[in-house]
Structure 1
Amino acid sequence: MYQIQKEKLNQTIDSLRELEIDMWLILTSEGSDPCIPLITGVGTVGPGVFIITKEGRKLALCSSIDAQDLEESELFDEVCKHTGSLETLLVETVRKVNPRNIALNISVEEHLADGLTAGRYRWLKNTLKGVFNGEFVSSEPFLTLIRSIKSKTEIERIEKAVKVTERIYKRVFTKMKAGMTERELGTLFIAEMERENVVNGVDRSLSLPIVLKENIAHRGPGEAVIHEGDLVIFDFSVEVDGYVSDIARTVYFLKEGETEVPEPIKAAFSAVHEAITRAALMMKPGVKGYEVDGAARNYYVSLGYPEITHATGHQIGRDVHDGGILLGPRWKRYGNAPYGELKEGMVFTIEPTLFLENGIHFIVEENVVVTSNGIRYLSERQDELILISNNRKVGEEILEKIPD
């Protein structure tokens, strides 16, 4: 039941040893710290503390009401119960461990490593001032990597979410036709999520995906009517066993009598496909995020197309935007995220968007995992533009090309 947490705790101990950090201390209440689902999988109702040391000790300090769940998880070497004074128990524990430094979940740039509130930070410093004279450091360097580098079980779950997403896409595409609104197209996904017994990976509910004919932005579907000759973007995610996919597809609604798309649209799709290829070929351990982004970005510029307006890709895992390294440009708004190095086990999207002034717009988003010498596609690549026809026979023949 706690297989992922066991894998993550092992990663944690390795990281603490590598960085020479004696202790990681997680102070939480009501599961308040965002790292809790990943690291322990068990929250606390009352104030509690999780401690991991570089020697491999795993301790849980909690109230008696929380002890049973923590003991049954079998994640900890010792579950220490207090009877009303966490402060006393924490001081005794820190005195026994006698760390030179303590990592806390405080971070300026990474919100997923910033779970310790200002008030709890002040309480902690005051509580330990008589027993700890060492240095408090940020957990960001290793917590970001622990979240970013997926374990075998995590990759299996992401891949499962990807396959469910692709099945839903294929069935939904057979039901689309010109004359429907963005919202009506989005509603098709709801029925398929219910059929697969999954929810949207963005908000963990049976909510609509992004469907965009016009007014391209990060928004829900509206009442715009789809006409023959339109390009429509779909951006969709599902959650499976706590992990998510993130796949976007752009489709073209054929005009009556058409069997192919107009040449400018065909050329734009070809450029997007090649930009994804170039980004993917750059991806291997040791390469920096901005170098991957540059491969796609510079290709568009060489064709006379506009620059991508955001990052080429991001990490996925427990969330659609899973923090960590970004496949993005060295823009101030992205901070240090594009400077991080790719490592084996990281899972990314690749989505070099293309928005042209003539109304042609494309988002094709693939999911990949970094391997020891490159990447492996978790999603089936969209190698051809998906065509939707009100002539069901034509549409079904085209859709046979889409992988199951």
Structure 2
Amino acid sequence: MENPKRYEKVYRRRIKRLTEKMEEKGAGLYIVTAPGNIRYLCCHTFPKEPPLTHLIITAEGERIGIASSLEGFRAQEMTAVDEVRTFCTYRALKCRYKTGIEGVRDLIKERSPEKVLTDGRLLSRRCRVERDSTIQEMRAIKEKEEIEAIRKATKVVDSGYRFLREFLQEGLTELEVVRELNHHLRGERGVANLSFETIVASGPHAAYSHHDPSERVVRRGDAVICDFGVVVDGYCSDMTRTFIIGENSKLVRIYQVVLKAQKAALERVRAGDPLKDLDLTARGIIEREGFGVNYPHSLGHGVGLEVHEEPLGIRPTIKGEQKEGMVITIEPGVYVPGLGGVRIEDDVLITPQGGVLLTQAERDPHCEGC
């Protein structure tokens, strides 16, 4: 993992945008509590949890981190902050605070702001506290460096698809497929972690939109949904491919419907257009084909430092428009109890000219061992 301090200029640029919003809202402090937001501002290369529990930004752009005694030294060495304050209950360590929230309240007392912004929940008798979504909104629009990191992560899942096409066959258990796929993904250059627990769902299990892999054996006639992603340079990829083992005309028809819906939604990707149009387009096709009741989830979500981030839940009721620089998933699915299901998911960059597919793996339900 690269030391985040190498990215000082990137973090300073982001902090400047945040302090401008603080000035606009008359806030003296910004209390950052969400792990993904902390990573965004001072340590994005951490693949999971940051070593800080809180990050406090002052109106002047000073960055004060709060960490447990367990993470104190790592926070000093591996986060781009100006000061780290630690907390613990061990007398020998002589920490400044007993808890992280005590540290936050001490800073509020120390700086005496009239107003504080936060991305989480905070109660204070000393000042006005306002919940704010500025950082999430900033994260929704990817910068050049972020898009490049996501591209690297999508290249890895593309290789995962190629691995599956050769490896997947009748007779393997879901857990065997997960184990070998994860081994392949983790062995690829630059991979720090998986974006989430890999999903392999076969046969009737493929009728679950989410599934915990089991010892079930893959059989002829099964659909096998494989949903996986990796973290590279702190950023996630997220891709799903569905394979059909042998022949199953019902599943082939469902696959064709889902693929048609996804292609139509991809055609509707364009900066400036409503986000809801993406879901409405795919859902309309699935409904007209008679599978509306078998499509129980939204079309997709934003992806970046976290595998699910803004825009969250791209569904018919979502507000807002597609914005240049957003990276989203487009993943329609149809799930039929007792039979199985199909989901096809790709990561897409939104531009004024349309959508750019970041995941490049074929959308083909056949595999070499099928």
> Does the TM-score normalized on the shorter chain lie above 0.5?
yes
Give % identity.
23
Deviation at 1:290, TM superposition (A): 2.3
Unaligned 5+ runs, structure 1: 107-115, 256-260, 331-337, 396-404
Residue 321 (1) aligns with residue 311 (2): no
- Deviation, 1:69, is 7.1
Structure 1 residues 341 and 58: CA distance shift in structure 2, 3 A: farther
Aligned residue number for residue 57 of structure 2: 51
- Return the offset for 1:44: 6.5
Q: How many Å separate the matches in 1 of 2:233 and 2:185?
A: 14
1:188 aligns with 2:188: no
Residue number among 200, 214, 235 corresponding to 2:194 in the alignment: 200
Per-residue deviation at 1:367?
0.7
Over 4 Å off, 4+ runs: 3-6, 42-45, 65-76, 78-90
Please give the alpha-carbon distance, in whole angstroms, between the structure 1 residues aligned to 2:331 and 2:80: 38
Q: Is the 8 A contact 1:306 1:355 kept in 2?
A: no
Q: 2:30 matched to which residue of 1? A: 25
Aligned length: 340
Q: 1:102 to 1:213 in 2, by over 3 A?
A: same
Deviation at 1:231, TM superposition (A): 1.7
Match of 1:333 in 2: none
Distance in 2 (alpha carbons) for counterparts of 1:295 and 1:160:
29
Distance 1:183 1:299 in 2: 34
C-alpha distance 8-388 of structure 1, shift in aligned 2 (>3 A)? same
Report how far residue 251 of structure 1 moved: 0.8
1:5–1:351: structure 2 CA closer, same or farther, 3 Å change rule?
A: farther
Q: Secondary structure at the match of 2:292?
A: coil
Tell me which residue corresponds to 2:16: 13
Q: 1:58 to 1:285 in 2, by over 3 A?
A: farther
The counterpart of 2:119, out of the listed 98, 105, 122, is 105
Is 1:239 aligned to residue 243 of structure 2?
A: no
1:5–1:374: structure 2 CA closer, same or farther, 3 Å change rule? Answer: farther
Among 186, 189, 200, the alignment partner of 1:210 is: 200
Q: Is the 8 A contact 2:300 2:312 kept in 1?
A: no
Amino acid aligned to 1:251: F
Tell me, yes or no, if the aligned pair for 1:172 and 1:188 is still in contact at 8 Å: no
Q: Which amino acid aligns with 2:17?
A: D
Which residue does the alignment assign to 1:311? 298
Q: Is the 8 A contact 1:272 1:364 kept in 2?
A: yes
Report the counterpart of residue 91 of structure 2 in structure 1. Answer: none
Cα distance, 1:34 vs structure 2: 4.7
SS at match of 1:250: strand
8 A Cα contact 1:67 1:79, kept in partner = no
The 1:13–1:285 alpha-carbon spacing in structure 2 relative to 1, beyond 3 Å, is: farther
Judge conservation of contact 1:285–1:374 (CA < 8 Å) in 2: yes
Q: Which amino acid aligns with 2:350?
A: V
Offset from partner CA, 1:229-278 (integer Å, 9 cap, x none): 222111111222222211111111225xxxxx63x444332221221122
Aligned mates of 1:27, 1:379 — CA distance in 2: 32
Aligned-residue RMSD, C-alpha: 3.5
Correspondent of 1:179 among 171, 174, 197: 171
* Displacement of 1:370: 1.2
Compute the TM-score of the two structures, normalised by the length of structure 1: 0.72
Q: Deviations over 1:67-102 (max 9, x none)?
A: 9877777955x54979948666644434xxx6x643
Distance 1:145 1:88, change over 3 A: closer
**Structure 1 pair 289–24 and aligned structure 2 pair: CA distance change class (3 A):** farther
Structure 2-normalised TM-score?
0.77
State the structure with bigger RCO (CA 8 A, min sep 6), 1 or 2.
2
Distance 1:230 1:59, change over 3 A: closer
Which residue pairs with 2:100 in the alignment? none
Aligned to 1:60: 64
**1:211 and 1:239, CA in 2 relative to 1: closer, same or farther beyond 3 A?**
farther
What is the DSSP-based 3-state SS (H/G/I as helix, E as strand, rest coil) of the residue aligned with 2:167? coil
Show the counterpart of 1:258: none
Judge which range, 5-14 or 289-298, deviates more: 5-14
8 Å contact from structure 2 (residues 161, 361) kept in 1: no
* Unaligned runs of at least 5 residues, structure 2: 87-94, 98-102
Q: Point out the structure with max Rg over C-alpha.
A: 1
**Alpha-carbon distance in 2 for matches of 1:5, 1:290:** 37
Change (3 A) 1:195 1:144: closer
